[in-house]
Structure 1
């Protein structure tokens, strides 16, 4: 179990370092851009984006404000209730994500996938997906 704890600490750090060095984009900014790119209409409520990125709402707001200043995300009022806010990926944000994606892929391969050479990656991916499901949403 110590190995798992170590991976949980080390992997995000090395991926972040590589992303910053190779693409000039920290993992804390890459991750919300990625989640927005995969969302319907490239938009998510701020609370949903915070959950997806495992951040508090206030922490996510700080990240989105940084992304908004760079022109990669816009915050718009939610159509359905008018109280909440959506984060919406801009064309510039998608372009920035696409630019950084090769560096992200390379670092994840180097620091994770390559260590599972000879293993069934489809089964491993399915197992990781089960682990990653938030237990609060399994009830």
Structure 2
């Protein structure tokens, strides 16, 4: 399968709050980088990291604001919305660059916080 086929599946899972499915189905050998630093490598590690994050969160989903595909790379402009167990709500923007091989993400880079604005200008101007 191609990135054109798999990206809508990934977006559907993300917007439905089913991010654990994404790691379980599409990140078997992936390396994930946050703001240029290695965040996790491989399905097992990425699932564990995201489960730990989800332990303190009551609700979580991503809203995809924009996306595009260039060859085997997909770019997403996302707003994460989540509610912590104390009821505090958060909204954080992010940019993702996903390198695909067939139906699997092999590398994912994402930028949030102070790195977000620069990447947004580069990848989603306007």
**Does the pair score TM above 0.5?**
no
Q: Which has the higher Rg, Structure 1 or Structure 2?
A: 1
Q: Structure 2-normalised TM-score? A: 0.27
Pick the structure with more strand per residue. Answer: 2
Instruction: Give the TM-score normalised by structure 1.
Output: 0.25
